Amino acid sequence: MEGPIQRRCRFSVLALILLAVPCAGQIQPHLSVYSDPRLLYHSQMSLKVTDGTLAKSGELQAVVGLIRGQDPRPLCTGTIVGRGDMVLTAMHCVCDFIRGPHGKPNSNALVGISPVAHPQYYLVVGIVPGASCTASRAGRDFAMLKLNRLTGISPISFATPDQIDKASTFQVAGFGAIDYDGHVVDYQKRYAPVPSISSDCRGQRDGVPDPTVYGCVPDREIVAGQRRSPDTCNGDSGGPLMVTMPDGSYRLAGVTSRSIPNTPTACGSGGVYERVTAQTQTWMDSAIKSLGPPGAQR
């Protein structure tokens, strides 16, 4: 995702200021994402990033924080999937800080709502990135992590293509920054609603396609959120974009990747999410198999 775009690298928290990296895609100078009529949906919402709802103990247990080494503060977010000891996150989180020397894991997962409220930490013992760290990440910002001895938490299942396409609003969650500039963090798990702008990056405005306006990849990415409203931010990278089911449960639609390019603030203007597709799930199945049975280190 390389170019002069703010990369929300939706990197968690403190790292956000230090590790902001440019992303791919660039808006043509005469275009404004704010003139896209789809962004008017819920335009009167007064909620801000800072007003995301704090998760209570036991809520969204499958959403975990990812930390570097022994630092207890999350720098990224992930979601427990598959057989229950696997975490799906963003590839840029792995490339930028989860990998240690020689590509070995240098991270733990925080299970809980914050580093101070009865946290539990599980060692990351295996990593499978969605692509090489030197490759473009747009459309493949996925990585699978294996945790040591994690049991007892129900993984989030995946949304169907129809459920993703029909969703007018998604739910996001993570441990990231709580202000529009991405500087203020308290390392607590929050969640918030964000409106769907383009579920497959195949829409257009005034004849200009979504990839040009949002820097997204057709069929592989989702655009969600809008100006001055709830949004993912630095530190929420790798966290879930979810569809809310009629019974109130969630299904995974995507993974938090980066901010919409060329916006005036780091957060609060919408973002780009890697969409969970059949191709993605095939890759995930292969990644889980390559990481070996529960408890075994890779």
Mean per-residue pLDDT, 121-134? 89
SS (H, E, C) 46-73: CCCHHHCEECCCCCCCCEEEEEECCCCC
Mean per-residue pLDDT, 128-155? 88
pLDDT for res 296: 56
Give the contacts of 154 (CB within 8 A, at least 6 positions apart).
Answer: 61, 62, 80, 84
pLDDT for res 48: 42
pLDDT tens for each residue of 249-274: 999 999 999 999 888 888 998 999 99
Rounded alpha-carbon distances, angstroms, from residue 229 to 9, 51, 186, 218, 264: 19, 9, 19, 25, 14
pLDDT for res 37: 42
Share of the chain above pLDDT 70, in %: 81
Q: Which of 131-145, 190-204, 250-264 has the lowest mean pLDDT?
A: 131-145
Q: What is the sign, positive or negative, of the torsion defined by CA atoms of 91, 92, 93, 97?
A: positive
The span from the first CA to the last CA of the chain, in angstroms, equals 29
pLDDT for res 44: 32
User: Nearest-5° angle of CA 66, CA 287, CA 82?
Assistant: 70
* Structural domains of the chain sorted by starting position, each given as residue range(s) with its CATH number in brackets: 11-56+157-279 (2.40.10.10), 63-155 (2.40.10.10)
Mean per-residue pLDDT, 81-97? 92
Q: How confident is the model at residue 51 (pLDDT cuts 50, 70, 90)?
A: low
For the record, the structure tokens of 168 come out as 């007018």
